[in-house]
Amino acid sequence: MLLNCLFSSRCACCQALINHNHSLCNNCLVDFPFFSPSQNNLLLRPDVKRAISLKYCNGLFACGWYQGWLQDWLSKYKFHKRTYLKQLLIQLIRYQMQRFWQNGGFIPDIYFFIPLSQTRYVARGYNQVTQTWLPALPTGSQVSQDLVRNKITKPQSQLSKTERRRNVKNAFCLSTNIQGKKVAIIDDVVTTGSTMDVAAHACLQAGAAQVWAFATSLTPLNSK
């Protein structure tokens, strides 16, 4: 009984007792509204194409729409420092990536993260993207911190689509030579795609052969 308490916790959705390394039980994980892994490249989905514009990306991977549970957990972790949600997000990302690769999904040679601005990093104390994605990536993955911010940008969430594009124009630079490499750029929420696209453009200029956007979630058209 005591051991049960020590090594188990409750599912974040249905409250069932589960192994303490996980946050969702198997049933809730299977029922979670992930994007279907059968459509490996989400840019081929008409509803995603209408919501997100990624002209410099060859493909897009994401767990689900930024709504419901996923929105709740991501925003609480990011803006309200609910750090207990970290493990839950890692579990979701890892599960969806496994399904993606089981279906022949794109395997990057190297991963980059959209760098958080220095002021936001200092204010938050952690980078919610690397915290949830690094533990979810396969062991031995090549991860680079060389994608850096070139200029000070305003938070994208306060801006219109046109302003977002202007705000992040030439925002990133990459000093590493990634000639011929297959690249993934990771972010937590992709809203219009403008930040991701500017980062993808920087990777292409540095010689990348292919660039994919990997995101935890995508903002649906009706909530922009």
Task: Give contact residues for Zn ion (rule: CB under 5 A).
Answer: 11, 13-14, 16, 25, 28
Closest distance between Zn ion and the C-beta of residue 100, in Å? 22
Nearer Cβ to Zn ion (25/178): 25
How near is the Cβ of 17 to Zn ion at its closest, in Å?
Answer: 10
CB of 63 to Zn ion, least distance (A): 17
Residue 28 or 173: which CB sits closer to Zn ion? 28
Token digits for 223? Answer: 């909530």
Least distance CB 91 / Zn ion (angstroms): 12
- CA 188, 194, 197, 202 dihedral sign is negative
Shortest Å, Cβ 81 to Zn ion: 24
Can you list the alpha helix ranges (DSSP code H) found in 14-169? 26-31, 46-51, 68-79, 86-102, 118-124, 128-133, 161-168
Nearer to Zn ion, 18 or 186 (CB): 18
Q: Which residues contact 66 (CB under 8 A, 6 or more apart)?
A: 74, 189, 191, 217, 218, 219, 220, 223
* Distances 171 to 22, 147, 174 between C-alpha atoms, Å: 37, 10, 11
Nearer to Zn ion, 9 or 144 (CB): 9
Q: Which is nearer to Zn ion, 25 or 90 (CB)?
A: 25
Residues near 5 by beta carbon (within 8 Å), at least 6 away in sequence: none
Quickly tell me which residue has 């995101």 as its tokens: 215
